[in-house]
Each structure stands twice: as C-alpha cells, then as structure tokens.
Amino acid sequence: MSDFGRLSLNSATTKKWTLAEAVAGCVRAGIPAIGPWRDRVAEAGLENAARMIKDAGLRVSSLCRGGFLTAADAPGQAAAMADNRAAILEAVALDTTELFLVVGGLAPGEKDVIAARARVADRLAELVPFAVDHGVRLVLEPLHPMYAADRALISTLGQALDLAAPYDTSAVGVAVDTFHVWWDPQLRAQIERAGRENRIASYQVCDFNLPIAADALLSRGMMGDGVIDFATIGAWVRDAGYTGDIEVEIFNQDIWDSPGDEVLATMKERYAELVLPYA
C-alpha cells in the first residue's frame, strides 16, 4: 500500500470546489494536507476556514499566495505591502508557516526588468521583519519565463535563492515547482544549493503539457500527461534533504471540469506511481 502521508491537495487543482468541499474531498480520499488559496479562504471566512480544516484533521501545507511586489508608484507599493501583511496574518490563523510569494511582473507600460526586480528586493526587505515577527516563512516561487512579464520576474531557482540569501532560512525559503523549473539546465545544481542552504520550503508537482493552452496559465497537467521527468527531479529534491509535504497544484480546464473525487483518485494514482518512489 502506498504511503500518502506527505501528499497535499493545492486547492487550485479542484478550482470549482469550495474550501469546504475540498476539505471534505481530502478526508474522503485519505489526503492528509491541503494548500488553500486565499480566495477560497476568504469565501469561507478566515476563522471558519481554520476551524473546518482543523476539525477535519488536516494540516495546511502552505497558503497561496502573497507577492506582486513590483508596483512602481507609492500607493501601489503601500497596497501590496498591506495585502502581504494580511496574507501573513492569514497564514498564522491557518496554522501554516509557509506563505507563497509570486513576486510580480512589469508595472504597466514598463520595460525596465532590472528596475522591477530591484523593487522586488526592496519590498521583500520591508516585509521580512513582519513575517519573522509572526513566525511565517516567505516562500519565493520562481515561475516559468513565459510568465515573467505579468506574473513573476523571478524565473529560476537560482534567482530565487539569490533573492533569499540575505535572510535567515526560517524567514525566506524557495519553492520547487516542477512545472516552472523542469527546463532549467542549472536545476540540479540549484536544488543542491537550496538543500545546502536549507531553503527548500515546498515541493509542488504537476506536469508541463503540450501543446501550450491558449491561456498559458492552463498548461499545467496531471503527472504523467506531459514532458516532466519526475523521477530525476524528485530524486534531486529528496537528496537535497527535503522531507516536507508534496503539493499537487494544477491549472487545467479539463481537470477543473472533471468531478473532484475523480481528480483526487487520479492524483493519488499518479503520485504513487510517478512521484512517491523518488521522494
């Protein structure tokens, strides 16, 4: 029998489910952890969300997401900081120490990538003390380069580690998301570096499907349906010392349109076959 003790459902995978439905689905499927998105938490109400997850006996592997730190104007920067401080407090209420940050893309009309990345570093420096005071680790998630302009100017694990370097490992970590980093020729070396620096805060799995969807955000697929070598990447993450939860996070319209319980059943099968043997 497979051990699903580290498996976590990221709530984006069952997008049409409410948080209550996702929690109940995890219980039925024997999945012990959930990684909720903030919109689902807000719909349920923060206190109610925290209570229903706890009462179901689930742990919260992470909270998605904060970030979007690249505003060029003072009001935009202030709004981003307020939202991220709120996200940190939500993480505390949900009893998770891991808050994902998607750092943001270019400001409207901007073409200066260097300046935008500098603003990410500046805002992170402002946010870290608040996160530390509340016992929350900010998890930098590099995204595939096709999302650099609008979602994340951090595209590689190496960039994320460089951005995290000034801070204690308990304050800033990094995520290894197979969809976003599988292509990187430096991936093995950077995973090894992340292990040495004790920075790996999350391992997320899903596949990279071809052809790319009309909406590139929806090109993530169930493990085994695309081009990613989970055995190799999983072994690198394992050998780097990561022993935490493994989240399945999928944005895919066909999966969203499928019955949630069927999605979780397939997720468990693919996890047991393609991920767990190398984790």
Where residue 165 sits, what CATH number does that domain have? 3.20.20.150
The two tokens of residue 275 are 């991920």
Amino acid type, 166: P
- The whole-angstrom separation of Cα 225 and Cα 220 is 9
Q: Is 149 contained in some domain?
A: yes
Question: What is the pTM (predicted TM-score) of this model?
Answer: 0.97
Number of domains in the chain: 1
Nearest to 96 by CA among 153, 151, 45, 58: 58
pLDDT: which is higher, 32 or 2: 32
Nearest to 203 by CA among 214, 211, 212, 195: 195
137: CB partners within 8 A, 6+ apart: 97, 98, 99, 131, 170, 171, 172, 173, 201
Confidence of residue 47 (pLDDT cuts 50, 70, 90): very high
Q: Is 263 contained in some domain?
A: yes
Q: Is 214 contained in some domain?
A: yes
170: CB partners within 8 A, 6+ apart: 132, 137
Q: Is 1 contained in some domain?
A: no
Percent of the chain with pLDDT over 70: 100
| Containing structural domain, residue 83 | 7-278
Q: Is 2 contained in some domain?
A: no
- Segment 26-32 shows an average pLDDT of 98
Q: Is 39 contained in some domain?
A: yes
Q: Residue 1 pLDDT more than 80? A: no
